Amino acid sequence: MQQVVTLRDVCAAAGVSTYTGSRALNGHHGVAEKTRQRVLKVAAEFGYVPNQHAKNLKTPNNKTVAVLTANMANQYYAVLVSGIETILDAEGYNCVTMDSVLAGRYSQAREDRFVSAIMAQRVAA
């Protein structure tokens, strides 16, 4: 099993503090370009992927929108979700969808689980 690379790992290898490394990776000002490039290079080499959950604790602007549909087999919902995704993508948001109908049957329990999960994730909408 491969170990997850953390921000701390990247920063240690790049020889910078986690504060500087975070600012470099997020494109914030106040980081020398040479330092930013070194951090980005190490992150790429290590295959670093930011921890979105940790990021959301610090800055709660989650870029995910959840859409619960009544029946994706209905063409109306497919077109609707496609339009929503097009607009969200242009604004840099992700879209998570779920259908409350599974195998042709509506499930209140399935719908409730999805709503609970998206609320726990603190999605944008």
Structure confidence by residue, pLDDT tens digits, 18-27: 999 999 998 8
At 61 the pLDDT is 67
The CATH number of 7-50 is 1.10.260.40
Confidence tier at 44 by pLDDT (50, 70, 90): very high
- CA 125/CA 123 separation, integer angstroms: 6
Query: Burial letters for 108-123: b for 16+ Cβ neighbours within 10 Å, e otherwise?
Result: eebbeebeeebeeeeb
- Greater pLDDT, 35 or 2: 35
The domain segmentation of the chain, as residue ranges, is 7-50, 64-120
The values of phi and psi at residue 64, to 5°, are -120, 135
At 125 the pLDDT is 78
Q: Once rounded to an integer, what is the mean pLDDT over residues 71-81?
A: 88
- Predicted structure pTM score: 0.53
At 14 the pLDDT is 95
- Greater pLDDT, 124 or 106: 106
Q: Which of 88, 89, 87, 114 is nearest to 99 (CA)?
A: 114
